Amino acid sequence: MISNVNQIDCEQSVRSRLFAYGSVIAAGTVMMALEVLGTRYIGPFFGSSLYVWSAMISVTLGSLALGYILGGWCCGRWRAHRVLTPVLGLTALWAGLLTPISRPVLLAASGLGLKAGILVSAAVLFGPPLILLGAISPLAVQALARPGQAGRAAGVVAALSTVSGVVSTLVTAMILLPRFPVDLITAGVAVGLLMWCVLVSFARHRAVLGGSLVVLALVVVPVALTYEAPRSAEATLIDQQYGHVGMVRVLDTSAFRFLMIDTGGQSVVWRQSGASDLAYTDIVARLGALSSRTGRVLLVGLGGGLIVRDLDRSGIMCDVVEIEPAVVEMATRHFGFEPTGDVFIEDARTFLNRHESVYDAVILDVFGGGTSPAHLFTVESMQAVRNRLGEGGLLVLNYPYAVEETLEIPRRISATLSTVFEHVALYEIGPDEIRNLIFVASDRAIPTIASYTQSPLPSTDQGFAVTDRFNPLDRLQIRQAEAFREWYVEVLGAEALLP
């Protein structure tokens, strides 16, 4: 009789340990999945940037610290095995509600400014589930530790949590996000975690808890999957797709069609005629055509493909480098883009360093997500461009610019170009507040364009050039991102930017 009792106790002990190990793996998996998914909830609305990732990492670490304290507090009041499943169940329910609650939270945080809005959104949306997940580790240590072996149990828990987090990060970022909508992935995370909780509840003969979780799942998951976000009265969503660098969207107003990456416009055309509403595309295409001797130009940054179309009218073939495949799809589907040369899907720096083709002109037009990629504006990047130019070739660089008092951005770009090229010129297109700066650089005299007047280059100081080792453009572009986002919110409505 005593032998049978001991055998039953041993089996229950083994089962309890397996459930504890499984809970640690589940918590580590969901923890990192939520951190990665968080950037896809916040980025499309505020603009994918270093600040989105910084906010998510900070909220994750801070929430986990609070969770460790919470878990330790719970260990002193309840047996760990009774708390693990309810904590994971609450986390799953919160994950299931992320999609419907994210929209009002993002809209409410919109008025706080870029950095504060990002941080508050991350804390409100992802702080609670991450705090709960942080509580799992101390609870699991208590459940697994035998007398005198607490350190060993803590080491095993930390290792399992870390390894499962690594796998979850890679699977979420490299496999799931490129293939499925973020709402569907989040719902899958919630369902998977709920299924684990239900399994553990019934296996441990806690039918009331298991049944309650099933009922809640039947309510929460359909709500999350069928929820429709509020839509802007000013703009109609035509198409959207999550891409590698952000949310790519096509939006229509009564008169215009916009191609957007997050909060940054790529192209704007009149809906009736298909003509560009951005005057800079004309001057860029004319400069590219003027410089062409062999009829071959390289465009870095496709947008809606309007520059390719304008160059084609002059008989100029244009190769394209575009990092985001979704942009190529949207340009083809909604803006009539037809390639006249090769289209390369890769980062511009990689292309410039890897390929040996030579062009009469390189057009750098890489605005996206409210800012321009800073690594493409360094001395090293401009030297890579120069290596792809034929004799007397021309670099045409478009920089969308929200005017600042110090003019530090145009001064730094001018200094960088002057470090690499003998001749630099500047054209300014647009209103006083937001305009396009068209820098032209070459080792020969810059051609002039009828009906356009060159602007004086801004003054620069020694050491003002941007390099890979010192690149302040990310910092300087904070105000740029805010200004462009404010402009698009005014034109399209904040609801149009919701993911």
Q: How confident is the model at residue 4 (pLDDT cuts 50, 70, 90)?
A: very low
pLDDT per position as a tens digit, 417-434: 999 999 999 988 877 778
Q: How confident is the model at residue 55 (pLDDT cuts 50, 70, 90)?
A: very high
Q: Which pLDDT does position 218 carry in this prediction?
A: 63
Between 219-228, 235-244, 332-341, the lowest mean confidence (pLDDT) is in: 219-228
Q: How confident is the model at residue 388 (pLDDT cuts 50, 70, 90)?
A: very high
Domain final residue pick, 199, 226, 253: 226
Q: Which pLDDT does position 46 carry in this prediction?
A: 83
Beta bridge partners of 364: 300, 397
Q: Which pLDDT does position 10 carry in this prediction?
A: 44
Report, as an integer, the average pLDDT of 472-495: 80
Q: How confident is the model at residue 244 (pLDDT cuts 50, 70, 90)?
A: confident
Domain final residue pick, 188, 206, 226: 226
CATH number (domain holding residue 77): 1.20.1250
* Distance in angstroms (rounded) separating the CA atoms of residues 44 and 247: 6
Per DSSP (E only), the strands in 375-417 are: 389-402
Is residue 52 one of the residues assigned to a domain?
Answer: yes
Same domain, 87 and 161: yes
Is residue 260 one of the residues assigned to a domain?
Answer: yes
Is residue 76 one of the residues assigned to a domain?
Answer: yes
Residue 11 pLDDT greater than 60, yes or no: no
Same domain, 219 and 256: no
Mean pLDDT score of the chain: 83
CATH number (domain holding residue 440): 3.40.50.150
Between 114-118, 264-268, 401-405, the lowest mean confidence (pLDDT) is in: 401-405
Q: Are strands 389-402 and 247-252 parallel, antiparallel or unpaired?
A: unpaired
Q: Which pLDDT does position 232 carry in this prediction?
A: 64
Q: Which of 53-67, 95-109, 281-295 has the highest mean pLDDT?
A: 53-67
Residue with tokens 């891409």: 243
CB atoms within 10 A of CB 179: 10
Judge contact between 308 and 318, C-beta under 8 A. yes
Same domain, 170 and 315: no
For residue 250, which phi and psi values (nearest 5 degrees)? -115, 125
More reliable by pLDDT, 224 or 337: 337
Q: Which pLDDT does position 228 carry in this prediction?
A: 63
Angle between helices 114-134 and 50-75 (to 10 degrees): 30
Residue 242 belongs to domain spanning:
238-497
Judge contact between 320 and 344, C-beta under 8 A. yes
Beta bridge partners of 426: 439, 455
More reliable by pLDDT, 285 or 427: 427
Same domain, 295 and 357: yes
* Distance in angstroms (rounded) separating the CA atoms of residues 131 and 73: 13
Residue 235 pLDDT greater than 90, yes or no: no
Report, as an integer, the average pLDDT of 445-467: 80
Q: How confident is the model at residue 369 (pLDDT cuts 50, 70, 90)?
A: low
Q: How confident is the model at residue 310 (pLDDT cuts 50, 70, 90)?
A: confident
Q: How confident is the model at residue 129 (pLDDT cuts 50, 70, 90)?
A: very high
Is residue 425 one of the residues assigned to a domain?
Answer: yes
More reliable by pLDDT, 48 or 71: 71
Same domain, 121 and 157: yes
Same domain, 193 and 336: no
* Distance in angstroms (rounded) separating the CA atoms of residues 261 and 76: 49
More reliable by pLDDT, 367 or 105: 105
Q: What sign does the CA torsion over 250, 253, 256, 260 have? A: negative
* Distance in angstroms (rounded) separating the CA atoms of residues 274 and 160: 55
Q: Is 238 helix (H, G, I), strand (E, B) or coil?
A: strand
Same domain, 370 and 466: yes
Residue 276 pLDDT greater than 90, yes or no: no
Is residue 231 one of the residues assigned to a domain?
Answer: no
Is residue 476 one of the residues assigned to a domain?
Answer: yes
Between 191-205, 220-234, 359-373, the lowest mean confidence (pLDDT) is in: 220-234
- Provide the b/e sequence for 62-80 (b: ≥16 CB within 10 Å): bbbebbbebbeebbeeeeb
Residue 321 pLDDT greater than 60, yes or no: yes
What is the percent of the chain where pLDDT is above 90? 27
Is residue 233 one of the residues assigned to a domain?
Answer: no
What is the domain count for the chain? 2
Cα→Cα distances 299→269, 344, 392, 445, 458, Å:
19, 10, 17, 21, 26
Of 252, 294, 244, 302, residue with least CA distance to 272:
252
pLDDT per position as a tens digit, 135-180: 988 888 888 877 767 778 788 888 989 999 999 999 998 889 888 8
More reliable by pLDDT, 496 or 304: 304
Q: Which pLDDT does position 52 carry in this prediction?
A: 87
Q: How confident is the model at residue 484 (pLDDT cuts 50, 70, 90)?
A: confident
Q: Which pLDDT does position 74 carry in this prediction?
A: 87
Same domain, 222 and 243: no
Residue 8 pLDDT greater than 60, yes or no: no
Same domain, 142 and 248: no
More reliable by pLDDT, 21 or 384: 384
Same domain, 287 and 362: yes
* Distance in angstroms (rounded) separating the CA atoms of residues 262 and 397: 22
Q: Which pLDDT does position 420 carry in this prediction?
A: 92
H or E segment at 469?
Answer: none
pLDDT per position as a tens digit, 189-207: 988 888 888 887 776 656 5
Report, as an integer, the average pLDDT of 330-334: 93
Of 190, 105, 8, 77, residue with least CA distance to 499:
105
Of 218, 242, 191, 187, residue with least CA distance to 39:
242
Report, as an integer, the average pLDDT of 340-367: 90
Q: Which pLDDT does position 381 carry in this prediction?
A: 92
Between 5-9, 63-67, 171-175, the lowest mean confidence (pLDDT) is in: 5-9
Domain final residue pick, 200, 226, 252: 226
Same domain, 270 and 134: no
Same domain, 265 and 289: yes
